[in-house]
Structure 1
Amino acid sequence: MEKAAFKLYNYRFTKASLDFNIPNDAELNISFNPKGVFYAKNAHYDLVFDVTVECVETGTEVVKVSCEAFFSFGNKVSIEDIPDYFYPNSLAIIFPYVRAFVSTISLQANVQPVVLPTVNLMGLTEKLKKQTQIID
């Protein structure tokens, strides 16, 4: 069977919240919550990628953004045809946009910019798979 080819055809940020009332040089913790919807009828996958940056000292959410990414598959595929590498790769494709967005909005706030580190998102594969809804 031929592997399912996919591409990112659009993305948008749906939510952004900022709270820079934190100590200078605060330790920041980043967390991710990916979820998705696979539309079987037209073989599209909508990824919702929530990223939260918290201040360790105060427990304050410094940055919280939600990004939606829209992927299409080159041919008619079912959820079973989607290769395992799609899940981490879809996150890896959209993460640079999230990083740039967070850096830009924090820089515009005239505070020390929040620069997200490059991270290996392979650990989110199972979480994204489990949080994928299928719509016929």
Structure 2
Amino acid sequence: MKNGQISQAPFRLKNFFFSESSIKIEPSTKAQSIDISIQPQGLVNESEKTFELELFVNIESKDGLKISIKLIGTFEFKEVVKNENLSNYFFVNAPAIIFPYLRSYISALTALSGSKTIILPPMNMSSLGKQLEENTTRKE
């Protein structure tokens, strides 16, 4: 921040969509804990100045709930980003930016299913950073 000016982030969310979605619910009156797994994957396209983030999400409970979702978010950046900045910009922040959309989608999906609504807790997405870094490719 210079002279009271707020600096803009070097990238922004351009768009997102849910490319795959599957839900299986067995009626249950018991409250069960759910297991959540998230596998991230990324693609840096230097010529288009974009970063595509894919989150493969699986949610399961012992009472028969199974949800599988593939969420794709496209981020655009102002300039070519050096490797050392990727971890700061994309690998940590991109999953955190897109996660609220995933939470909202799962809540709406389960609420409209006639079952009890699943509300995912807020999560610290920084733990996905290393995995996302390993699963990101570059395209020039």
TM-score (norm 1): 0.87
Cα distance in structure 1, aligned partners of 2:27 and 2:83: 45
Take 1:33 and 1:80, find their aligned partners in 2: how far apart are those partners? 21
Residue aligned with 2:130, SS: helix
**Residue correspondence of structure 1 range 75-114 to structure 2 within 5 A:** 75=79, 77-80=80-83, 82-86=85-89, 87-114=91-118
Deviation at 1:68, TM superposition (A): 0.4
CA-atom RMSD, angstroms? 1.7
| Corresponding pairs, count | 130
2:21 aligned residue: 16
Residue 6 of structure 1 corresponds to: 11
Of structures 1 and 2, the larger Rg is shown by 2
**Match in the other structure for 1:133:** 137
After TM superposition, the structure 1 = structure 2 runs for residues 112-127 of structure 1, keeping only pairs within 5 Å, are 112-127=116-131
SS of 1:85's partner is helix
Report the more deviating stretch, 36-45 or 19-28.
Answer: 19-28
Question: Aligned to 2:87, what secondary structure does the other structure show?
Answer: coil
Structure 1 gap ranges (5+):
none
Percent of aligned pairs with the same residue?
Answer: 24
**Partners of 1:12 and 1:79 in 2: CA distance:** 27
Q: 1:42 aligns with which of 39, 48, 64?
A: 48
